[in-house]
Amino acid sequence: MAATAVSATDYEVLACHALDDAAWSYFAGGAGDELTLRANRAAWDAIALMPRVLRELAGGHTRVELFGRTWPTPLLVAPVAHQKLAHPDGERASAMAAAAQGAGFVLSTQTSVPMEHVAAAVRDDAQRGPLWFQLYWQRDRGLTRELVQRAEAAGFEALVLTVDAPVQGPRDRERRTGFRVPPHAAAVHLHGQATRPSRRLRDGDSALFDDLLLDAPAWRDVEWLRGQTRLPLVLKGVLHPDDARDAQRAGAAAVVVSNHGGRTLDTAPATADALPALADAVGGTLPLLVDGGIRRGIDVLKAIALGARAVLVGRPAVFALAAGGAPAVAHLLRLLRDELEIAMALTGCRTLGDAGPALLAPRR
């Protein structure tokens, strides 16, 4: 069935049929009225590319360099939790698919497959892209440190700290289906871990502000984390230019322009709309990556033209995983790369370094 897919949208349709209602609500849904979820896609569609003709294109390529490593394509599979909900092989399948296509892979803290198993499946592949570990800040600094040390020992090459989700957004789709993570897809690194007991609240106290957020990370925690690892630290979930500047001052090696796929703050700006201001703010001195709504190779080229070094794809990869396992994820990544190469050829870009603001048509 998955062999009929010729685009990311096709895989989304196939996944909708493959997943039950609860799993679909988890992977496909967003926060609130899902305005940001829809805006992410609409913003890429609203950007027009300018064709160029009679350009010298022989010998072109899609290679990208970051953190001293060059890989064939500016694509990374974004961190998506609980992937055994989509397929029995879970994150291991996604990582192997990314490696087969020379794309990067970012493993979620909430992986349903141990990080060591995922890393062992791909780390010795000389043709793979980068292998990164996404980190959610834990209430217990000791657990945070343990996760970092395990990631380093397993062979992960960067840490991606998610900073835009101190609290989960209200996800109406999940509440309507009564979604709960089933045991087979649970976050294996967090299962059974001791957490700080909830604080006894007084009348009028907020369970959010007077308990949960007491342990939310702040800039001082980013600085502490920098001191715990030799790996580059990437901050994921930045939309405001001032936060990008603060990230640079805190020693971040890169920033992912992201609104968590529209799953936290509904009405947050689309990432395609936010990216240019962040690129202006850091002036090329801090590598920017971007995710959110990317479904086509032309979207990847638009992201590069707006100032990104690389892009992350989340939902399209997990939809492909649900539709056909590792082969389908590899096929999806190949489709995106092929579409990117075609778009580059038709806009006169021999390499990604040729893509800049002049590639984009003026907005009406």
Catalytic residues: 260
Question: If you search the block for the tokens 């500016």, which residue do you land on?
Answer: 74
Identify the CA nearest to 110 among candidates 166, 190, 28, 22: 190
From CA 325, how far away is CA 317, in angstroms rounded? 10
- Answer for the pair 276, 306: CB distance below 8 angstroms, yes or no: yes
Question: Per the structure block, which two tokens stand in for 333?
Answer: 């990544």
3-state SS class at 49: strand
Dihedral, CA atoms, 202, 207, 211, 215, nearest 10 degrees? -170
Amino acid of residue 50: M
The per-residue DSSP string of 187-237 comes to: -TTTTT---PPPPPPPTT--TTTTTGGGG---HHHHHHHHTT-SS-EEEEE
DSSP 8-state secondary structure symbol assigned to residue 360? B
Amino acid of residue 239: L
In order of 199, 219, 242, 282, 322, the CA distances from 271 in angstroms are 36, 22, 16, 16, 26
From CA 106, how far away is CA 76, in angstroms rounded? 7
Question: Per the structure block, which two tokens stand in for 6?
Answer: 């010729």
